[in-house]
Every structure is written in structure tokens, then in C-alpha cells.
Structure 1
Amino acid sequence: MDISPSTFADLGVPAPLVDELARQGITAPFPIQQATIADALSGRDTLGRGRTGSGKTLAFCLPLLTRLHQSGGRRERFRPRAVILVPTRELANQVCDVLTPLADALDMRTAVVYGGVSYNGQINAMRSGVDIVVACPGRFIDLMESGQIELDAVEVTVLDEADHMAELGFLEHVTRILDKTPRDGQRLLFSATLDRGIDKLVRKYLQNPVTHEVESNEESEAAMTHYFFNVNQGNRFDVISDLCAAPGRSLVFTRTKHGARKLTAALVQAGIPSVELHGDLSQAVRARNLAALSSGKVDTLVATDIAARGIHVDDIALVIHADPPEEHKAFLHRSGRTARAGAEGTVITMVTENMRRHVKRLARDAGIDPISKTVTVGDEILTEIAPGERQHREMPNLEERRGQNRQGQGRGAPRQRNRNRGGSDFRDRDDRGPRGPRPERGDRPFRDRDDRGPRQFDDRGPRGPRPERGDRPFRDRDDRGPRQFDDRGPRGPRPERGDRPFRDRDDRGPRQFDDRGPRGPRGDRNDRPARDDRGPRQFDDRGPRGPRPERSDRPFGDRDSRPGRGPSRGKGTDTRGSASRGSGPRQRSAKRPARSA
């Protein structure tokens, strides 16, 4: 007889959290939540293994919040009580979106920390005091080493998608962070696999963990239908665009960032509104493009493997592998963007002739049995998989209008302008009243500037003696009075260059060189007389010099003592500052008392 808990309340989740889940329409726990929540609530270290979309986020968020709620700890500046480490910014935002409304129900504060945005907002959040930090390891290390985060008060540490953090090279950062947390704190680790060093992480940092693994590959793939479409380079794009033009959201994966940009531009040109997602985009653009897909402004997202993990958009009906990935793990993570949480989904892999052997190996390693078809545009199978009328429309404008609130845009969350402070009074444009039609530039009357009157420069008076530069008082230049330029008198019109008379230079008269007198004939060089009549050169007025001492007997004189010479500017006399102006966070004073928020 099955007596497993059937509700969150049965699992021991507090009533405020149960009510918030019910408000979101979540009433029954998923298998991985049933398996892990009870052990995590008891304080045991937990290792959870489940596929993407199986409900792992709530599986660690609910016990984490419950533990903090029951411990009754106080929120303090720079000292979070729980840390959740994730590999990507997108996953950090997704986890925070799930966590924040639940934390609000228990009057707890959360903060998200990752790179690509300004430090200021994240430092201010730490200074104000937070209970839970969701972070990527790189930026978290920066704040930790600068003293903006202290980990001695951490009660629970969560590692989500630990295998992906290992793939991205974050394991060293993760170990440095875990070394700073209390050894008696609780640790929850979720990973699809235990390779790439994750097993060593488990052995070192998890104490006698309980392991829960739910959903085998066969069970997880049951709601997902796989197709391998044999295409050629000539009709590959036509097949992709036909599928994306059908109603519903599509997610298309490419191998490279250049391929994502190129395919997105081609789809937009074909009348299929699409956005891209890859590592070359700023965080602001990535967030904007994801929001465009979630809001329905566009129905197609073209992405690299950056979106294979941590991107959750509801109702992705179709995943297309425009370029098959290199390994089966990436294939499964890409495909896991559809058929999430028990829903159904379709995955299509485009197979060109040179990729057929590779995709067969992918299917074998991933444990799937795809339906293989040779297709061209117009085949019935395309409308069977993606039914509905094909829609073509213009790409909507995704740029936000100036003045709108920008969530997570730019370099960190921008500050909201205080409308009560002094400065310009910006009124709503609706209260200006009509301005009337404005004439074209060519119809506007030209106003002569000469009707302004002459400038007044004639009231200066005598200036008097001028003091030395160092003795002069500093005067505002506005008290000098206007400059006088109006005593010249009118100059009259100046004729055009072509109307000026040409003056012959010969009327200037001859140059006066005739007062020299005749020079006489000049003989050959050898016939010229010697200039011995000049007398000897005059060097005899110096006086006797006296005996000159030997070189070693001469006194050594510093050249800087010569008259008219300034001090030497050697290497040691450079007075310019040499402190680096790095872009990292400033060090927080270690003597500052940690006050309660």
C-alpha cells in the first residue's frame, strides 16, 4: 500500500509556503520533490539526481526556506544565511523567479549575483542584508574576496546543475566557496551525472548524504517524440522556416554563435519574428530576448548551448537541432527544453548526409529511438508535427521606450530616479497643450542678427600695474567687462576675388643692390691672394691657465649644482599615483561593525 505523502503540507512544508504554491496552481509534489524534501527538512545532506524539468528547483527551495524559517536566525549585513550556486546567469534568474515569491511569504529577502552587470546593486543588497543569495561562482568570488560577502553565518548551501559547473570550469571556485562555509552547515547537491569531478566534491563536502534519483531515461523520454529529418543544404533552411512559421513556440539550436546570428536574421527576413541567445550578447539583450519569447512578441528563439540549461519558458512545443551537438549529454539537455514536468513535446534533428553516422551514435548514447524521414518543403509530415496555418509577419520593435522601467537591463539594475528631489520639473507631456503646426525649415523667416545692437566694450577704464602671477587674486572672468572692438569704423564691402585689380609686381621698383660698388674681375681659385693680412687669431687674452691637475685629483661635482639647473628627475622622483583603478569592487573595511539590518 502506497502511503507516500500526496501534498506539500504532508511533507512538512509550512502553511505560508503551501498557500503561495496553491496560489500559483501547484498543489501536488513531483516525484523528486517527494523523494528529497523530507530528508532535506530533517537536516541531512542530500544528493539529488533528476533530469531537466523534473522539478528540482522546488525540491531544494522548499526545504531551504523551511529550515531558515524554523531556525529563527536574524538577517545581518553582508552575512547571508543561505547560498545557492548555479552555472549560468539565466539559471540564476530562473531560480530567483521561483524563490522570491516563496521567500516573500516568509518575510525573507533574496538577491541574485552574477557577472556582466554592475557591482553596485549587488553590493548595496549585501549591505542592506539578505537571507538567501543566488549566485554564479565567478562574481560571488569577487564579492567574497573584497569583503562584501561573509559566509560564516551560512546555514544551507545548494549546488544546482553541479555537473554543468564542472563543464564550465567552476569547480575550483565552488571548492573555495564551500571551504568558507561552516562545516556543520547543510549541503544539497543536484546534478544529472557524477562525472567530471563531482564525485570527489560529494565525498569531500557532503557528510553521509542520502541519494535520490528519479526518472530513468526511458521514463523521461516517454512524453517526447524524436524525429531525424534527412535534408540537404539546399532545403535545410526551408524546412526549418516552415516549422517555425507554424503556431506555437519553437526553440532552435545551432552549434556556433555565428550560426545563431545568421539563422535568426534569415528567419526574420522570411517573416518569422525571431530572437537569438548566445554568449556574445550582453545580459541586458539576453534578458530582453527571453522576455520577448515569454511574452509572445516572438515565437522562435535561436540559441547556442547556453540555453540548453537553466532556460525555462512555458509551452515550448518544438525543439529543433539545426546543428546536432557533439555529445549525447548536450543533446538531452537541449531536448529537455520541451516536454517539461510531464508535458508532451517534439524534438526534430536536421541530418545532412555528412552527419548521418554522427547522429546515429548520438541516438544510441542518448537511449532514444527516433523516427527517421527524408523530407522537403510541402510534405505532410511537417503539418502533422506542427499543425496550423503558417504565419508570416514583420519583426516587432523590442527596444524599450525611454523612461520605461528596465528590469535587469544595462550594467546592473538601474536606479529609479527620485521624482521628489530638486532639479528640473519634468511634467507629463500631456499637459503642455497643443503646440500648433511647425513650418518647414525653408518657410521660416530669416532674422538678421545685426538688429541686436553693438556689443558694449568701451567701459573698461585704466588697468593699472599688473602684479606678479603668484600675487594676483583669482577673479571671476565675468567682472572684466566687455571687450572693445567698435573703434575700427566700417570697413565697407570687400569686392569678390575676381573683381580685384591685378597689380603687376614690376611696378614695385628695382631692388636696391647698387650701392655696393663694382666688385671687379674674379680670378681663378689658384690666382686669389692669400688672406695672410688678417693677422693671427686672437687667443692670447685669456691669460695663463696654470698646471692642470691629474684626472683623479679633480673634485667630483654634482651636475645638478650647476647654476640654472633644476633638480634631477630620476626614476625615484615620479610623484604620480600608481594605484590601480581596477573595475572590481572596493575592499570593505574589516573594522566596520556588522549591524543588524
Structure 2
Amino acid sequence: MTFKDLNIVEPILTALQEKGYSDPTPIQQEAIPIVLNKKDVFGCAQTGTGKTAAFALPIIQQLYLEKNQGAKRMLKALILTPTRELAIQINDCFKDYSKYTSVRHTVIFGGVSQKPQTEELRRGVDVLIATPGRLLDLMNQGFIRLDTISCFVLDEADRMLDMGFIHDIKRILPKLPKERQTLFFSATVPQAIVALSRTILNQPVRVEVTPVSSVVDTIDQYIYFVEKQEKKDLLVNLLREKKQKSVLVFSRTKHGADKIARALSGAGIGSEAIHGNKSQNARQRALTNFKSHKTRVLIATDIAARGIDVNQLELVINYDLPDVAETYVHRIGRTGRAGNTGTAFSFCAQEERPMLKDIQKLTGKHIKTASVPV
């Protein structure tokens, strides 16, 4: 199947071809016809499955066709997403896909001056990508009204709840028209997500792809049994021994991420940490350095890592095992993408063994034990 088979119009097809996209992913194959048919969607998909294009392409197409029929420029689509990095990534996708259309989009997020953002809004946009806090700020200041929205996308809904944005979402929802299309995406579906989806979706079609265990099939996984105080030396030794150009290290806490970065810098290994306490400029700079291979090692917390999409990321290291088994799958799924091979190392202290048991139960795989270098 090709994008042409999904009835994607010529200007968008041309933009996709220029970016080297030819065949739609499973979630795109399922979701695009449903969205074009103006139905609500409950989408369950992991990071890296092509989810952004699954909603961006049909939104751009609908707006493009409306403009061809003489529709005026006004805010018609709102994409709400939890992190600045993810908002920027979605905005980049809209830029790529809408290149040969007159559809205008912009992105707003906190941590930076609002003036350039409000100037873009004044010029008029069709699509707004936003994080909840900055959206509410600009709504309260009168820069944004949501009464013309025809399509609302809630992306990474599970992370929205994890980050405490549920109250912001509940303040935003009443400002949207009751008659609208809603697209709801979440990587995991705990009971709280099901409850939230019921309050905002109208007879949705459920789209679910990539069962959580299959994501790990293309990744070589190893576990190092090591005491907590020995993790730092193990990490330094592994990074000196292994020659991968790009390594993403996961820490459970912001404080821990900073400690790891200091330890690596002290050992002469180029690294930067990225987490919610860093300024937007610092986070963006660290990401840019990592993607361009200027920085070899990036240390991230789970929340900050949403939106990190690095081509040919070779190695992921779980310095701390995550509390939730599904998070492990999201973490290691950042390597081994698009047909590339990937490797994941995990450090497991005595108190983390129950977490390892949960991970192996979820994935249905026994993770190979690696020898700690001496």
C-alpha cells in the first residue's frame, strides 16, 4: 500500500516523496482513512510508529481542500502535547508535509519569550501545536480563541496524566466547540486514560498497532547485575569499551541525570543531561548537539525523552530500571528503528529485581545476562 492508495492529494504526496516516505506505516494505513472520514479516533501506538503523520496528513489535507473552496484562514486544528521537544518535533512534521500547500501552522510552548509566538498568531494560522501551560497563558491574555476549532488532537495522553496536566486539559476542553472531531493518542491505556477518553470522544474508532512486546524484537538486550554504588564505574567502563557514536542513557530522576553527567564529564566522556528543570534553550541545545553527534552521550529522564527522535541511535542504557514495565519498552524502542539494529543495556541493582521480573513478563522475553567488565 502507498500513500496514494490512502487518497492523499498530490501536493502532500510530492512533499512526502521528497522526504523519502513511500509506504505508510500500519497506524497510518488504519488511521488516515478514518480521520479523513471525520470520525473520532482512539489511537494506541508506541513512539516511533509514525503516529504524527497518521493525524497530520489528513488534517493538512482537509484544510488544503477547504482552502481550495475559498475558506478563510482561521484556527481550525489544535494539537495538544505534553513536552516542548515533542511540540517542536510535531511542528517540524507539519512543516515537511504542508510544504506545497497554503496551510499555515505554528508552535507555542513555555520557557521562552512569548512575543515571537504571539506575532505568528496575529499573522494567522490554521494549525496550532501547543503545550498546555503556554496555551492557557495565551488564551487568558486574549491571544487565542478555540471556538473555530474543527479538529482537536490530544497526543501522548498518558504522559499528560503523568505530568499532572489533567487539570489544564479540563480547563481547555470547555473552550472547544462541542461539534468537533477529536483524535486521542496514548502509548499505554491505564484506567485513567480510558476514563479521560470517554469524556472527550464521540463514538470513536479504536486504532491499535504494534503490540508492546513486538517493539523489542529487533533490539539486542542485555542486563548487568550490579550494586547501586557500582553503576557509575560500570557506565564509564562500558562507554570507554564500546564505540557507538550515539548513546542515550536513562535516569529515573532529574538529580540522578545531573549526577551521571558530572561523572561522565569527570571521566572525559562528552555528555549532557536533559530534563524538566533545564531551560528550553538548554534542552534544545543539548538535543541539537546529540543529533549532530557533537555530544556522544545524552542522559535523559523519561518525560524529557518523549520527542527525542534520533536517526540510527545505536545504544540505549537504562542506568535505572523504570518503575513501570511499559516504560522500558518506550525507552529501548528509541534504538533499532526503521530497519536498523539496536542494543539496550540495563543496570539492575538488588532492589530493582522486581522491576526486571515485570519487564520480562510484559515482553515475554528473558533478557540475556552480561558480564560486568573488571
Same-fold call, TM > 0.5?
yes
Shift of 1:297: 0.6
Residue of structure 2 equivalent to 1:48: 43
Conserved 8 A contact 1:255-1:323: yes
**Which string of whole-angstrom CA distances, capped at 9 and with x for unpartnered residues, describes residues 554-592 of structure 1?**
xxxxxxxxxxxxxxxxxxxxxxxxxxxxxxxxxxxxxxx
Tell me if structure 2 keeps the 8 A contact 1:55–1:341. no
Cα distance in structure 1, aligned partners of 2:57 and 2:267: 45
After TM superposition, give the deviation of residue 225 of structure 1 in Å.
2.3
Structure number with greater CO (CA < 8 Å, separation at least 6) is 2
Q: Which has the higher helix share?
A: 2
Amino acid of the structure 1 residue aligned with 2:233: D
1:126 matched to 2:103: no
Alpha-carbon distance between aligned partners in 1 of 2:36 and 2:338, rounded to the nearest angstrom: 23
Residue aligning to 2:298:
301
Q: 1:361 to 1:49 in 2, by over 3 A?
A: closer
> Residues 63 and 103 of structure 2 are in contact (CA less than 8 Å); yes or no, is this contact kept in structure 1?
no
Q: Would the aligned equivalents of 2:315 and 2:343 in 1 still touch at CA under 8 Å?
A: yes
State the 1:142 CA deviation. 1.3
1:297-446 matched pairs, under 5 angstroms: 297-377=294-374
Identify the structure with the greater strand proportion: 2
Q: Deviations over 1:71-124 (max 9, x none)?
A: 223214xxx111000011111111111111222321222111111111212211
Deviation track 1:175-224 (CA, whole Å, cap 9, x = no partner) reads: 33232222222111111233253223322222111111111123222112
Secondary structure (helix, strand or coil) at the match of 2:88 reads helix
Calculate the aligned-residue CA RMSD, in Å.
1.8
Contact 1:32 1:212 in 2 (8 A): yes
CA deviations 1:439-488 (Å, max 9, x no partner) are xxxxxxxxxxxxxxxxxxxxxxxxxxxxxxxxxxxxxxxxxxxxxxxxxx
Query: 1:567-578 alignment to 2 at 5 Å?
Result: none
Who is 1:253 aligned against? 250
TM-score using structure 2 length: 0.93
What is the rounded CA distance, in whole Å, between the counterparts of 2:251 and 2:28 in structure 1? 33
What residue in structure 2 maps to residue 223 of structure 1? 218
Post-superposition Cα deviations, 1:331-366, rounded to whole Å, max 9, x if no partner, equal 222222222344332111112234334422333245
Per-residue CA deviation, residues 221-246 of structure 1 (Å, 9 max, x unaligned), is 21122211122456533332233341
Tell me the residue number matched to 2:135: 140
Q: Deviations over 1:117-150 (max 9, x none)?
A: 1121221111111111100111101111221101
Please list the CA deviations of residues 287-332 of structure 1 after superposition, one character each: whole Å capped at 9, or x if unmatched.
0010000111111101122233221111111110111122213222
d(CA) in 2 for partners of 1:215, 1:199: 19
Distance 1:342 1:208, change over 3 A: farther
Q: Mark the CA change 1:198 to 1:115 in structure 2 (over 3 Å): closer, same or farther.
A: same
Match of 1:75 in 2: 73
* Structure 1 residue 171 corresponds to structure 2 residue 169: no
- Seen in structure 2, the aligned counterparts of structure 1 residues 281 and 196 have a Cα distance that, compared at 3 Å, is farther
AA of the residue aligned to 1:360: K
| 1:219 to 1:356, Cα distance in 2 relative to 1, 3 A | closer
Alpha-carbon distance between aligned partners in 1 of 2:91 and 2:31, rounded to the nearest angstrom? 20
Quote the residue 1:523 is aligned against. none
| Inter-partner Cα distance in structure 2 for 1:343 and 1:39 | 30
- Check conservation: 2:321, 2:346, Cα contact below 8 A: yes
2:97 is aligned with 1:102: yes
Q: 1:478-557, aligned counterparts within 5 Å?
A: none
Q: Distance in 2 between matches of 1:162 and 1:232?
A: 35
CA shift, 1:154, in A, is: 1.1
Whole-Å separation in 2 of the counterparts to 1:375 and 1:228: 10
Aligned counterpart, 1:397: none
Residue 8 (structure 1) aligned to one of 3, 9, 12: 3
Per the alignment, residue 387 of structure 1 pairs with none
Gaps in structure 1 of 5+ consecutive residues:
1-5, 378-597
**Which amino acid in the other structure matches residue 308 of structure 2?**
I
Cα 1:276/1:21, change in 2 over 3 Å = same
* Count of matched residue positions in the alignment of Structure 1 and Structure 2: 369
Code of the residue aligned with 1:227 in structure 2: it is Y
User: CA 1:155–1:259 in 2, change beyond 3 Å: closer, same or farther?
Assistant: same
Q: Distance in 1 between matches of 2:134 and 2:338?
A: 31
1:251-275 per-position Cα deviation (integer Å, ceiling 9, x unaligned): 0011222221221122123222111
> Is 2:25 aligned against 1:30?
yes
**Does structure 1 retain, via aligned residues, the 8 Å contact 2:216–2:333?**
no
Query: 2:220 corresponds to which letter in structure 1?
Result: T
1:264 to 261, 265, 272: 261
Query: Helix, strand or coil: the match of 1:248?
Result: coil
Which residue identity does 1:74 align to in structure 2?
Answer: K
CA distance in 2, matches of 1:280, 1:203: 33
Larger mean CA deviation between 286-295 and 240-249 belongs to 240-249
The 8 Å contact of residues 83 and 304 in structure 2, kept in 1 or not, is answered as: no
The residue aligned with 2:274 is 277
Asked if the contact 1:217–1:367 (Cα under 8 Å) also holds between the matched residues in 2, the reply is: no
- Find the aligned partners of 1:234 and 1:174 in 2 and give their Cα distance: 41
- Alpha-carbon distance between aligned partners in 1 of 2:359 and 2:305, rounded to the nearest angstrom: 16
Mapped partners of 2:228, 2:325: distance in 1: 23
- Secondary structure of the structure 1 residue equivalent to 2:213: helix
How far apart in 1 are the matches of 2:272 and 2:213?
33
Which letter maps to 2:197? Answer: V
Match of 2:285 in 1: 288
Find the structure with the greater CA-based Rg: 1
Change (3 A) 1:144 1:233: closer
Q: 2:155 aligns with which of 153, 157, 160?
A: 160
| Alignment partners' CA distance in 1, 2:255 and 2:112 | 24
- Distance in 1 of aligned mates of 2:181 and 2:355: 43
Amino acid at match of 2:57: L
1:353-390 deviations in whole A, cap 9, x for unaligned? Answer: 3433442233324544211233224xxxxxxxxxxxxx
Shift of 1:18: 0.8
